[in-house]
Amino acid sequence: MTKTLLATALLAAAGFAQAQSATYTIDPTHTFVNFEAKHFGTSTLRGRFDKKEGAVQFDRAGKSGKAEITIDIGSVSTGVGPLDGHLKSKDFFNAAEFATAKFVSDKFVFDGDKVTEVSGSLTMLGKSNPVTLKASNFNCYQNPMLKREVCGGDFETTITRSQWGMTYGLPGIPDNIRLLIQIEAVKQ
């Protein structure tokens, strides 16, 4: 009888823990992956990737989460067509051979119920390297139009592009590239 009660309690606890975890689908109209790089020490070149998709799963009570975001490299946009073409070439992203970049994470850091940091691996140009995104803002709210919870925030990091084999233009075009990620995801 005691074993049955213990097994029932463990199953109930597992069910409760699972119920606390929720999956959120990336809202592409409110999610942007932007980058910044100094141009030969003068101005700052800015661009973004217009197509991205993915999902985030997190459990505020359990202080855990997972994320998987895929970025369409061919959607790079700086507002300058010839530059976009060069960024898609073998000199930089080699979009013909490596059509996507992917960020996968299973480590979330929380302060209360707010996500403050997400660590994972960024795969680009066929190479994976660790990346930690720090949140400057994070919030969840009940969307009045969707009638569902939406969570998101502003995250940033600096990557060293040569870690992925992207060395064209060094040192005039710096190795350090700042990534700014604005993300919103809708609870499923």
Cis peptide upstream of residue 171 (ω within 30 degrees of 0):
yes
Residue 82 has which token pair? 């010839």
Considering only CA atoms, give the Rg of the chain. 20
State the pLDDT at residue 122.
98
Q: What is the pTM of this model?
A: 0.86
Which tens digit of pLDDT belongs to each residue from 62-93?
Answer: 999 999 999 999 999 999 999 999 999 999 99
Residue 72 has which token pair? 């369409």
Q: What is the DSSP letter of 97?
A: T
Q: Is 118 in contact with 132 (CB distance < 8 Å)? A: yes
Q: Is 55 in contact with 24 (CB distance < 8 Å)? A: yes
- For range 37-60, the mean pLDDT: 93
Which tens digit of pLDDT belongs to each residue from 118-166?
Answer: 999 999 999 999 999 999 999 999 999 999 999 999 999 999 999 999 9
Measured CA to CA, the distance from residue 66 to residue 156 in angstroms comes to 17
Measured CA to CA, the distance from residue 25 to residue 43 in angstroms comes to 36
Confidence of residue 19 (pLDDT cuts 50, 70, 90): very low
Q: What are phi and psi of 42, to 5 degrees?
A: -105, -95
Measured CA to CA, the distance from residue 2 to residue 133 in angstroms comes to 46
Measured CA to CA, the distance from residue 49 to residue 32 in angstroms comes to 7
91: amino acid identity, one letter: D
Residue 131 has which token pair? 């990346």
Distances (CA, A) of 88 to 24, 27, 41, 85, 169: 30, 25, 23, 5, 15
Nearby residues of 147 by Cβ (< 8 Å), 6 or more positions away: none
